[in-house]
Amino acid sequence: MRGMMDVDVGKLNQMLRFLQSCRRYSDEISADEDGREVCVAGWLHERRDLGGVLFSIIRDRGGIVQVTFRRETVGEEMIERARGVSRESVVAVIGVVKADRRAPRGFEIVPRTFEVLNEAAAELPLDATGKVHANLDTRLDARFMDLRSERVRNIFMVRAEVQRLAREFLNSRGFVEINTPKIVSTATEGGAALFPISYFEREAFLNQSPQLYKQMMMASGFDAVYEMGPIFRAEEHDTTRHLNEATSLDVEVAFADHEHVMSLLEDLVVFIYEGIAEYTERKKMDFRIEVPKKPFERITYDHAIELLSEHNIEMEWGDDFSTIAEKTLGEIIGAHYFITDWPCEIKPYYAMPAAAAGCDKDASSERCNAFDLMHPRLELASGSQRIHDYNLLRKNIEMRGLDPESFRFYLEAFRYGMPPHSGWGLGIERLLMTMLNVENIREVILFPRDRRRLVP
C-alpha cells in the first residue's frame, strides 16, 4: 500500500479511494494512538481561531475530533487555508495523532494535509452545533442539516437499532419476513381514509395496512410472518402523534390465539427496550431508557370503563376511548398495559368474536378476542385473533356495509384451508417516541408526511 503522504490530494477520486481505504470515524481514535497517522473526513463543526493557533473541530458519524493548526507545525499556507473554510464545509484531514491533555478528548490531530472537498454556503439554515434553538418546522425544512446535530442523529441511530432488534427477535423465533403491495385496489378495512392514486387507466390506493395480505400468507403455509414497512392513512388528523405515512411492524401467526400473540408482543417490546438500553449506554447517548416489566397488566375493556368512571370520566359501552380517557388510564396504570375483550363493533370485521372462539359461553356475547397495547401516553399496537371461517368473515364484511366482491381476492384464501391465526400491528414511530420520551412523532421519522407537509 502506498504511504499516506504519496496521495495527490489534488486528484479527487484518488483522494476518495484513499479515504475508502483508511478513513476512520472520530470515535474510533483515541490518545492511545499518539504518533500514529490517521485520516478523517467530515464536516467543519466549529472553528476557534486564536491567531497563532487555530482549532478546527471536525464532525463525522462517530462524533467530533479536534484538528490543531499551529504556525510552526503546519505552516502559514495551511493555516490561512483552514481559516478561510466556512462552517459545515466537507473536509478531509490526514495527520498525526498527538496526545494532549489540553485537547477536548485528550488528543488532537496535527494535520499534514487538509483538503476542502466541498465548501458550504453561508449563512446556514440552522445551527448544527445546537447552540441556538430552532422550531421543528424550520428544522424539518432543513432536515439534512438538522440530522447533523448529535441528538437528532442519535434518534435515528436508535431507530435503526430498534428495527434491527425487531428483526433479530422475530427471525430467532422462526418468523419469515415478507413484503406486500403498497398499491392496492380496495380499502383494507373500510374505516380509515385512503389516498387515491392513478394506476394507469384505473384508480388505486396506497395501502393503509398489510392486514389482508399477511392473513392470506397464513393460508400459504408460511405460519409466522412479519413485515416492517410504510402504511398510509389519509386521515386529516393534525396532532403530535399521528402521521399520514407511518411505519408499521405487522405480525401474523397461524395456529395461535390472541393470548399467544400478546405474549409475543410483550416479549418483543421488552427485548427491544433491553437492547436499546444497552445500545444507548454503550454509545454514551443521552437517553434514559426505562425497560418495562413483564408481564404487562391486562385489563378488560369493561374494567377500563369502570376505572374511568371512578375518575369521573363516563363513557357508553361500545364507545372507543377518547384522548382524555386514554391519558387518564395511562396515569392510573403508569406502565405498559393491554386492553382486552373489546366490543366487536369498534374492532375490525376480521376480529374473532369471543363466542365463536369458545372463550365466552354466552353465545350472544358482543365481545371479541382483540387487544390494544397501550403506553401510558398513547396506543402502540392493536391486534386480535382473526376469524378464519369463510362464512363468518363474509357475513361480518356484509354487516359492516362493505362489498364482499371487492374483498374477493382476500376471501378466496379462506375457502381452501385457512388455519386459525392471530396477529398485531405495532407503530414503530410510536414505540420510538414513547421509548425516547420525544414529544412530537415527527421527530422520530426522517421526512414526516403530515396534513400539511409534503416536502422535503
Query: Residue count at the site for RNA (CB under 7 A)?
Result: 67
Q: CB nearer to RNA: give 7 or 188.
A: 188
- 89 part of the interface to RNA, by CB under 7 A: no
- 250 part of the interface to RNA, by CB under 7 A: yes
- Grid coordinates given for 145: 442539516
| Residues labelled catalytic | 233, 235, 241-242, 379, 382, 430
String marking each residue 33-62 x if it binds RNA according to CB under 7 A = -------------x-xxxxxx-x-------
String marking each residue 205-224 x if it binds RNA according to CB under 7 A = ---xx-x-------------
Q: CB nearer to RNA: give 159 or 233.
A: 233
Q: CB nearer to RNA: give 201 or 286.
A: 286
Q: How many CB atoms lie within 10 A of CB 66?
A: 20
- Comparing CA positions, the residue from 97, 81, 83 lying closest to residue 33 is 97
Q: How far is the CB of 327 from RNA (least distance, A)?
A: 6
Q: How many CB atoms lie within 10 A of CB 402?
A: 17
> What is each CA distance from 115 to 13, 35, 40, 206, in whole angstroms?
13, 21, 11, 46
- Comparing CA positions, the residue from 162, 194, 150 lying closest to residue 62 is 150
| 49 touches 83 (CB < 8 A) | yes
Task: State the pairing for strand pair 63-70/90-99.
Answer: unpaired
Q: CB nearer to RNA: give 159 or 242.
A: 242
- 136 part of the interface to RNA, by CB under 7 A: yes
Give the integer Cα–Cα distance in Å for 273 and 282.
14
Tell me the window of 132-140, 176-184, 286-294, 385-393 that interacts with RNA (CB under 7 A): 132-140
Give the integer Cα–Cα distance in Å for 70 and 50.
10
Tell me the window of 150-158, 237-245, 264-272, 386-394 that interacts with RNA (CB under 7 A): 237-245
- 31 part of the interface to RNA, by CB under 7 A: no
3-class SS of residue 205? strand
**Interaction with RNA in 408-427: which residues (CB under 7 A)?**
425, 427
Q: How far is the CB of 200 from RNA (least distance, A)?
A: 27
According to DSSP, the residues that pair with 421 across neighbouring strands are 254
Q: CB nearer to RNA: give 280 or 382.
A: 382
Q: How far is the CB of 59 from RNA (least distance, A)?
A: 12
- Sequence-distant (6+) residues with CB within 8 A of 360 are 354, 367
Tell me the window of 1-9, 16-24, 185-193, 252-260 that interacts with RNA (CB under 7 A): 185-193
Q: CB nearer to RNA: give 171 or 322.
A: 322
Is the bond preceding residue 230 a cis peptide, omega within 30 degrees?
Answer: no
- Comparing CA positions, the residue from 434, 422, 334 lying closest to residue 379 is 434
Tell me the window of 97-105, 219-227, 268-276, 280-288 that interacts with RNA (CB under 7 A): 97-105
Q: CB nearer to RNA: give 81 or 278.
A: 81
Give the integer Cα–Cα distance in Å for 311 and 384.
28
- H/E run at residue 390: helix 390-399
Answer positive or negative: Cα dihedral of 379, 428, 370, 413.
positive
- Grid coordinates given for 5: 503522504
Q: How far is the CB of 72 from RNA (least distance, A)?
A: 6
Residues that bind RNA (CB under 7 A): 46, 48-53, 55, 66, 68, 70-72, 86-87, 100, 102-104, 108, 122-127, 129, 131-138, 188-189, 191-192, 208-209, 211, 231, 233, 235-240, 242, 248, 250, 320, 322-324, 327, 347-348, 382, 425, 427, 439-440, 452-453
